[in-house]
Amino acid sequence: MPGAADQTRSDIVAMLPRLRRFARALTGSLADADDIVQIAVERALMRIDQFQEGTRLDSWLFSITRNAWIDEARSRTRRGKIFAPAEAGEQVGYGGEGDVHAKLEADDVWTAMRKLPDEQREAVALVCVEGLAYREAADALGVPIGTLTSRLARGREALQIMLGGAR
């Protein structure tokens, strides 16, 4: 049905900001995140016929994005490359004290998230940042819901401690 495929393509475009945010949580780098999203969207478009109508497009795309990152990380390990550092010009264009404080707080959160083990970072990114339900996040990660909830609990607790909000 051509109309459904066209709608799915439009929905994929609308998901780009969320995919980029999730990819940044995985990679810790804007440049790497953009590369991973590009790979994921290419894969999704090539396999658009595999998307099942009535299921969650965001879960499908997050799963593809995560798998693209795993593939890229393995490839880099084999090539012996080091991941790129944060971009030097990332803070250019910020003005006003409020913007600076908000940026610093966001940087603290991203820095803390990068310190989490991959499994916890993925769970936190999907549930807390992207707003997926536990079942949807578990499906996107390919784990049982109990595994997701324990990873999420440990990730949240670690973030609280790192950000100075320990009990």
Domain ranges in the chain are 1-83, 96-167
DSSP codes, 99-124: HHHHHHHHHHHHHHHHHS-HHHHHHH
Confidence class for position 80, pLDDT limits 50, 70, 90:
low
- Check if CATH label 1.10.10.10 holds for domain 96-167: yes
CATH hierarchy code of domain 1-83: 1.10.1740.10
Instruction: Give residue 79's pLDDT.
Output: 60
Range from 60-64, 97-101, 155-159 carrying the lowest mean pLDDT:
97-101
pTM of the model as a whole: 0.60
Q: Compute the distance between CA of residue 31 and CA of residue 54 in angstroms, rounded to an integer.
A: 33
Instruction: Give residue 98's pLDDT.
Output: 53
Phi and psi at residue 113, to the nearest 5°: -65, -35
